[in-house]
Amino acid sequence: MTDRIVSWHPNPSKPKFTPPPGAVDAHCHVFGPMAQFPFSAKAKYLPEDAGPDKLFALRDYLGFSKNVIVQASCHGTDNSATLDAIAKSNGNARGVAVVDPAISEAELAKLHEGGMRGIRFNFLKRLVDDAPKDKFLEVSRRLPKGWHVVIYFEADILEELRPFMDAIPVPLVVDHMGRPDVTQGPDGADMRAFRALLDSRSDIHFKPTCPDRLDGNGDPWNAFAEAVAPLVADYSDRCIWGTDWPHPNMQDNTPDDGHLVDMIPRIAPTVELQRKLLIDNPNALYWAD
């Protein structure tokens, strides 16, 4: 694997929607720079550099104030690139790490000092070779106070994962709602199953994100808006939003980040919902201290 890929829009449009002051882009990533932070030998893709300078310039352009930087799978369990971006954010970024389950308490404490506030478990087989549930559970019991677990999976394995998620002793955040088929509509089987998960415990948050990944009908992603708006309305205290920039593996269907931001008022049409989605909920998870 030698060809490096670009998965982000070279010239995103300016959003029509203006995020409220203090808004958080609560799901984004950094890639490299590779010369300073080499990619994992196990990486399933080799991206061009998309470092903190680009991320923070986009944040300002789109009208956001803070970022939550999620460790990208291409960097494996070496969180150096994410920690570097957090350190360069002037306090305006926090992060989610990917760790070896055997990580020590001292190493977890260093991650906390560096701005991490959670760890991510990835169950997408096309991105990771091994997802040991028993080891994941063990490390989830040793997390620093106030941390949570971010989990990424596809809808077809939700029921299989339910016992595992039930056993995690800290709050959960589900990436991209567990990738439901939004074309089924708000009452489709995937969305009903996801609502059942949310109803099973009150400390599960979710990200109503990535219409570009979930709505095969394409921009303006009307099926996504129709399916997701009722979920945000019904679980307004448990949702956080992010761009997913630089959109890993989306090089063949690169979304316009301005259009992604303009999805916000379609799934959160009131000022109150927008404040919860973009300010209150992410700050409670990532800046409680």
User: Of 265, 258, 255, which Cα lies nearest the Cα of 14?
Assistant: 258
Catalytic residue among 244, 252, 256, 257: 244
Q: Using CA atoms, how far apart are residues 18 and 231, in angstroms rounded to an integer?
A: 22
- Euclidean distance between the first and the last CA atom of the chain, given in angstroms as a whole number: 42
Q: Using CA atoms, how far apart are residues 191 and 187, in angstroms rounded to an integer?
A: 6
How far from the centroid of its chain's Cα atoms is residue 244's Cα? 6
Beta strands 24-28 and 66-70 are: parallel
Q: Using CA atoms, how far apart are residues 203 and 171, in angstroms rounded to an integer?
A: 5
Alpha helices in 209-249 (DSSP H): 211-214, 222-234
Burial class (CB in 10 A: 0-12, 13-18, 19+), 92: middle
Residue 50 β-bridge partners: 31
Is 3 catalytic? The answer is: no
Query: Which residues are identified as catalytic?
Result: 244
